[in-house]
Structure 1
Amino acid sequence: MRVSILSSIFLYLSIANAFYFYITGGDRKCFYKELSQGTLLVGKYDVEVYDPNTDSFSKTTAKQLGVIIDVEEVFDDNHRVVHQKGAPNGEFTFSAIDSGDHRICFQPQSGGWLAKVKTKVNVDFEIGDNEKLDSKKKGKVQSLTEKVKILNNKILDIKREQKLMREREASFRDQSEKTNSRVVRWSIIQLVALGATCAWQLNHLRTFFVKQKIV
């Protein structure tokens, strides 16, 4: 298998961590990175395939294309410390055991018509010591934790408002029932008073007619 070295981008990589390069499917391209002992390297990659119909590069699926990533210690007779096969996009993490030059290689692999298709590999590196990168991750976790706390507080506020609304509705309902009960009682009292008044008037008229010897 032919091995190609991207010597033209080595100097560029020393000052930039994000780049891309072109490669024919099945070929293997490598570049070097000098890492100190304990340095943590986090790499994110995204492979796109060339579409002659649109004359552009587009994303593909894991069923169509895979990527082999190797990290080798050049100073230790090219000892391979990372061998990872993954999807067309993803990430890999490597912690340098010893100081020295490390060779990082990408090799897209596919079958069928994609076997020799031109591909574009986008790479983004984050390099630093374990504590620094871990602190960044902890910072992200803390940020997410704070956002979750804010959302939980908002949910609690909404629940409190809903509880207050239910209490107000219950109070209004109780007040309405009391008012209706009072209206019913007052109506009954009025009917009783009206009936008593009618009975008294009838009795008074009957007594009056008797005295007048009308009946």
Structure 2
Amino acid sequence: MRRRSAVLLRLAVLLPLLLLTVAPGAAGVWLNLPASGTKCVSEEIQPNVVVLADYAVVHEGHAEGGLPTIAAKVTSPYGNTLHHKEHVTAGQFAFTTTEAGNYLACFWIDSGDKGVDTSVSLDWKIGIAAKDWDSVAKKEKIEGVELELTKLEAAVQAIHENLLYLKSREAEMREVSERTNSRVAWFSIMSLGVCIVVSILQLWHLKSYFQKKKLI
């Protein structure tokens, strides 16, 4: 009984952390594609994070079997292509990030019928939201409260890694800011020095001019 109470107490304490972590990790997006052009969505993700997404053309307003086809392309922050499909009505992409930054998913209509409005549903899952917990439960033979605690432990680990990532980004930004301030200070000193030298040269030139004209 005491052990069960302790487990429930841990669950109550860690549940808010799970909500904070999972909520941003799973998102359903509805995109209205223009007749010509591209519609993109982006997500800033840190390295070593699992990303899983499903997309499909919505049936609304289209006859069965008459859906327009689309093209989909996913690129990394450095422009590497992670997924590229053409002439499809549905698809899926999955990858583990290796770069930190904005990952871009773009969609456009590539069928002949481009005059019809087309919508695409995108189910984007990141981090622990993309993990197959059913497989984990079967593999480790856990269920119920123990499975929930495993999820919470993964959530806490994800929060910890995210905090470390934010800390490193903050340190990088602070370093860049300090370098910029240092350069601005040196530039100001150099500008002041140039102004002083130019003023001295102007005084010397005027003095020489007036002496030649015998005005002084």
Structure with greater Cα Rg = 1
* Bigger share in strand: 1
The normalised TM-score by structure 2 is 0.45
The normalised TM-score by structure 1 is 0.45
